[in-house]
Copies of this chain bind each other. A is one copy, B any other.
Amino acid sequence: MALVPPHGGKGLVCSLLTGSDLDAEKQKAAGLKKIQISAQAKGDLIMMGIGGFSPLDGFMTKADWKGVCENMLLADGTFWPVPVMLTASKDESDGINVGDEITLEREGEIYATMKVTEKYEMTDEDKKWESELVYKGAGEDSQGDFMKTALEDHPGVQMVMARKAICLAGPVKVLSEGEYPTEYKGIYLRPAQTREIFEEKGWSKIAALQLRNPMHRSHEYLCKIAVEVCDGVIIHSLIGNLKPGDIPASVRVKCIDTLVNGYFVKDNVVQGGYPLDMRYAGPREALLHATFRQNYGVSRMIIGRDHAGVGDFYGMFEAQDIFDKMPKPDDPGKRLLCEPLKIDWTFYCFKCDGMASMRTCPHGKDDRVILSGTKLRKMLSDGSDIPDHFGRDEVLTILRGYYEGLTEKVEIKMQKAASGEAM
């Protein structure tokens, strides 16, 4: 049995240059007109570099953008669930014309060069149209005026609306993977690397767990169900940017290491990280998760309750249902081949005497150990006891340590401020 092929039918499309090609392009890049890119675009570029966004080889044309918003299809009919956009202000893009090569930079680092094949304007009306199509959930009634609420509270929509007015499309040459190879050594794996690992293990049916929060027993249980029915599982963390207040990737990775060491059969698990920021695109983001996982060699994407959820914008299982509604082009190259592994809300249940889900546990609320993320963060940061069976002790110890560190930092700041006042 072979691994699932990369999405798009063209193998892994990797735009990352290496060796003398890289040196030459870097030299050329220094002389080109520069555009400052967003954190999201940086992640998108690195994914294009390493083949994680196959078959995309650059940012989207207007036709691609329109097709993706309306039908989840690129202009050539290939499935793709969310826009991947490069934008600049009118001033920044002034003097950039179709046919030009430009340099894409962020915080002093050159990430890519791009050959501009299209330059088009996007109005606020266009962005609202996109937001309604891409970010609005299925339960329309409950949302009232979606855009009104979303403009206030939806981080994904806010990111769309904050995009600049001029879109630049075209193929890229990627020159840097940023901090990921050094800062997340051993965790940051390129699709070619995960595919090699899976092949060496003789796996073909591989599940992925998407993680952006610390891993507790409910996530562990999702993985363990996957291990029972697949050849193995990759615990695949977002190592790009999150919302302020979220737990940093380095801490989350340490938690996963601890869990894998103490509670998994190591042969059946791989840990990895991918360099994207959260888009907060709800169900469509769940489809993106499956799409790029296919490039990593994953055939089953674990989709639990409220996967990639944002506030109250989506139904608890909309991210599962969307897999039944997405377009399925006849050409398997253009179709998403990574299937969802849909699992219900999971928790520890005293009467079940173990982990369970809403599909397997007939007992009541009082028998179950359920904590919201918000409540857990509060309990960890104020040092109160976490209910038994919610997490593994070793993991909770790491998280407590992280929160204690935060508190110390705040106390030091306060002490400094206080002594400053006294002087």
Number of interface residues of A (CB under 8 A): 28
CA distance A356 to B263 in the complex (A): 10
CA distance A163 to B86 in the complex (A): 78
**A229→B224 contact, CB < 8 A:** no
CA distance A22 to B262 in the complex (A): 64
CA distance A325 to B24 in the complex (A): 54
**A357→B389 contact, CB < 8 A:** no
User: 0/1 per residue, A345-386, Cβ < 8 Å to B?
Assistant: 000100111111111111000000000000000000000000
CA distance A228 to B354 in the complex (A): 15
Chain multiplicity (copies): 2
Find chain B residues with CB under 8 A from A352 CB.
Answer: 263
Closest to A266 in B: B362
**B228→A362 contact, CB < 8 A:** no
Q: Contacts A353-B354, A389-B353 hold; do A359 and B228 have CB atoms under 8 A apart?
A: yes
CA distance A30 to B274 in the complex (A): 76
**B262→A362 contact, CB < 8 A:** yes
CA distance A353 to B224 in the complex (A): 13
**A263→B225 contact, CB < 8 A:** no
The verdict on A265 contacting chain B, using a C-beta distance below 8 Å, is yes
Q: Contacts A268-B359, A359-B268, A360-B224 hold; do A229 and B263 have CB atoms under 8 A apart?
A: no
Find chain B residues with CB under 8 A from A229 CB.
Answer: 225, 229, 341, 343
**A265→B227 contact, CB < 8 A:** no
Q: Contacts A229-B229, A354-B354 hold; do A264 and B341 have CB atoms under 8 A apart?
A: no
CA distance A12 to B359 in the complex (A): 31
**B225→A265 contact, CB < 8 A:** no
The verdict on A344 contacting chain B, using a C-beta distance below 8 Å, is yes
CA distance A92 to B352 in the complex (A): 56
User: 0/1 per residue, A306-319, Cβ < 8 Å to B?
Assistant: 00000000000000
Nearest CB in chain B: distance from A338 CB, A? 16
Give chain A interface residues in 67-101, CB to chain B under 8 Å: none
CA distance A362 to B90 in the complex (A): 58
- A360 contacts which of B268, B341, B343, B351 (Cβ < 8 Å)? B268
User: 0/1 per residue, A255-297, Cβ < 8 Å to B?
Assistant: 0000000111110100000000000000000000000000000
**A228→B227 contact, CB < 8 A:** no
Closest to A260 in B: B362
**B341→A263 contact, CB < 8 A:** no
- A354 contacts which of B227, B264, B355, B357 (Cβ < 8 Å)? B355
Closest to A229 in B: B229
| Listed A/B pairs (9) with beta-carbon separation below 8 Å | A224-B356, A228-B360, A229-B229, A264-B360, A268-B359, A348-B353, A353-B354, A353-B389, A354-B355
Interface, chain A (partner B; CB < 8 A): 224-225, 227-229, 262-266, 268, 341, 343-344, 348, 351-362, 389
